Amino acid sequence: MFISSKKNERCKYAETILKVTAPETRIAAIQHSIEKRLQKVSLLYKPLLAHFSSAYLPNTASSYESQFPVASHKEQQTQGFIKEIKPGLLTGHLVNAQGRCVYFATELLPDKASAYWSNHIKWLQLHNKLLLHLIGECRGLTSLSADKAEILRRVEQLQERYPLYKQMHYAPKVLASLVKLASQSPQSLDKLHMKLLESKSALEGFHIENTSKSLQRHVCYVSTVPIQDYQFKSFEKKHFTNFDDYLKSNKNIVLTVGNRVYHGVSEHRGLTKSPFALLQGISSSFEYNKENVPLSMALHFFIMAARQKSADYMTVSPMMSMRSILDRTLERTGLRHLFARGDQELNEKGWSAYTITVAPGEIPFVAKLSQLKVPLWHE
């Protein structure tokens, strides 16, 4: 039987892994191999904007683009510290291995700001819906030779069915990119589709409404620009009616998660990446004790550190993909034993009362904040 050289190499590598006697070492080796392969696959679709044809590029398109900036010397020296720069507004920043600075914030929400953020989430939901529709259109346009006229025709049909899409002038540009992606790597398009579906579910779980006087509402986010004030301090009404203006005004927001503190319990709920940040491939990770901490977990850790003085416990009930990231990060950072995962462990530790929202298919996690030495962030 003929076996290609690459396949033969993979077989030899698998045999080497299986010869490792310690099961935990064997698992680690397999995980390392999988991660390496996933990194290669991810390069096929990240960032998508790099594949856009100028033929579909609106004149203002460059104003949508946003990336983490190079860290200054001062930012490198002060990373990991959290400070309150305005009432209820805590900020911090981290520098990744590429020397890029990533900014974090948590805002206490009065009613007016809550309305702004609720509207922000609605725009993200609409944007997410558009991208899912564009992927649906892309399924029938898998050829790189799809011409501009056909691209525009399909977008116009979508805009007729969903009038709000007419405000999203970059839609033809995105569809052209998705067509190219589908031709180069259908698996990557499927992966992007799954990420958008997960983002859709996360956005539905983002809760910041005021349901009790005992409830403190916060929104926490990752930004590509330094945070010096509340995100929506002086927001004009027009930004809530025109999507293009709105997106350009808030392109700095990469990740968002709701945070509610209720009777001493801090809940993280609805973590999602901005759909446009997802298209641009904006991401980051950070090293902690020679282990990799992804951006989503850096945000979770930021909230834990920020709440250590105002809450006794934290809880989060992530969906499948985030749950695997949480599991892996807690193991690698040595924090797993400080968390109760699932109903059985919650009952064993007597922490069942410290969950707030658990939807079907989710698994609750709870930790006592005073027991945690939170990775990446200083006290």
Is the pLDDT confidence value at 36 over 50? no
**Does some domain include residue 379?**
no
Residues 219, 111, single domain; the answer is yes
Q: What is the pLDDT of residues 227-246, one digit of tens each?
A: 999 988 755 554 455 666 67
- 31 and 155 share a domain? no
CB contact at 8 A, 126 and 159: no
pTM of the model: 0.77
pLDDT in tens, 237-291: 544 556 666 777 788 999 999 999 999 999 999 898 887 788 778 889 999 999 9
Domain hosting 149: range is 48-371
Encode 34-66: b = buried (16+ Cβ within 10 Å), e = exposed: eeeeeeeeeeebbbbbeebeeebeeeeeeebeb
377 falls within a domain: no
Encode pLDDT of 171-186 as tens digits. Answer: 777 777 777 777 777 7
Q: What is the mean pLDDT of residues 185-209?
A: 78
Q: Are 35 and 172 found together in one domain? A: no
| 29 and 113 fall within a common domain | no
| Pairing, β 339-341 against β 313-316 | unpaired
Nearest to 319 by CA among 357, 288, 349, 281: 357
Give the DSSP H/E element, type plus range, for residue 15: helix 5-18
Are 93 and 29 in the same domain?
A: no
Residue 149 counted as domain residue: yes
pLDDT of 27 > 50? The answer is: no
| 33 and 131 part of one domain | no
Residue 17 has pLDDT above 70, yes or no: no
Domain assignment present for 322: yes
Which pLDDT score is estimated for 155? 83
| Average pLDDT value for residue range 31-37 | 46
Q: What is the mean pLDDT of the chain?
A: 78
Residues 60 and 17 in one domain: no
* 107: in domain: yes
- What is the total count of domains within the chain? 2
- Measured CA to CA, the distance from residue 105 to residue 97 in angstroms comes to 21
Say yes or no: 67 and 175 in one domain: yes
Please indicate, yes or no, whether residues 148 and 19 belong to a single structural domain of this protein.
no
Is residue 197 domain-resident?
Answer: yes
Kindly state whether residues 119 and 161 are assigned to the same domain.
Answer: yes
Q: Is residue 378 in a domain?
A: no
- Residues 262, 276 within the same domain: yes
In a domain, 126, yes or no: yes
Residue 60 pLDDT grade (very low, low, confident, very high; cuts 50, 70, 90): very low
Residue with tokens 């077989």: 11
273 and 253 belong to one structural domain = yes
